Structure 1
Amino acid sequence: MSTNWMAPIGLSSIGEEIAVRRKTLGLSQAALAKQAKVGHSTLDALENDRLGELGLSKIIKLLSVLGMELKIQETSGRRPTLEELMEEDHDDQGLDRQR
């Protein structure tokens, strides 16, 4: 992204990131769940966006096993305008043409 703002990340996005990293490391869901000491069904539900809530301690355990961490930072205080998003998309498309 070419702008400094970041969209809030939800539980489904965290689940997606965990699944990608787990697969990259060649871990099964069962192996990751065991190492992080969380239920296999909980991990499966998180990765497949079927989980409404999950305690922070469980998320931190999973991320720790995967060599990842949550980062808390101050927000920019405003959302991007439509024009900023369109400009960012235009810039991204320009980069694709340059390859």
Structure 2
Amino acid sequence: MEHIGELIRSLRKAHKLTQKALAQKYGMSRATISGIENNTVSEIGLRKVEAILNGFGYELAPVPRQPSRPTLDMLKKVNFHDR
């Protein structure tokens, strides 16, 4: 979620909006917008985040998580043993 907060902050600034203006547009508090941007909100509804992203022309979509360590299949694909 932290990357979404960074994205929302950069989009807000690119559109020259304050946190207060963005919050008012979506019926939220400025503190909620700040929490989303700084990844400090303990729980935030996906619909709120989706509404903000949609307003900037983005959509919320699931993306598979990359494993922290390469799997055997990943190593086979890059011919790890040929290096």
TM-score, length-scaled by structure 1: 0.60
Alpha carbons 1:18, 1:47 under 8 Å: kept: yes
2:13 paired with 1:23: yes
Matched residue type, 1:81: P
| Match among 49, 58, 66 for residue 68 of structure 1 | 58
Moved over 3 A (4+): none
Matched residue type, 1:41: A
Unaligned 5+ segments in structure 1 are 1-10, 88-99
| SS of equivalent residue, structure 1 residue 44 | helix
Computed over aligned residues only, the root mean square deviation of the Cα atoms, in angstroms, reads: 2.6
Alpha carbons 1:33, 1:62 under 8 Å: kept: no
Q: Go from structure 1 to structure 2 and tell me whether the alpha carbon gap of 1:48 and 1:16 turns closer, same or farther (over 3 Å shift).
A: same
Kindly name which structure, 1 or 2, has the bigger radius of gyration based on alpha carbons.
Answer: 2
Q: Which residue of 2 aligns with 1:45?
A: 35
Matched residue type, 1:37: G
Please give the alpha-carbon distance, in whole angstroms, between the structure 1 residues aligned to 2:15 and 2:57.
10
Count of matched residue positions in the alignment of Structure 1 and Structure 2: 73
TM superposition shift of 1:81: 1.7
Unaligned 5+ segments in structure 2 are 79-83
Identity percentage of aligned residues: 30
2:54 paired with 1:58: no
Please give the alpha-carbon distance, in whole angstroms, between the structure 1 residues aligned to 2:56 and 2:21.
11
Q: Which residue of 1 aligns with 2:81?
A: none
Please give the alpha-carbon distance, in whole angstroms, between the structure 2 residues aligned to 1:34 and 1:66.
15
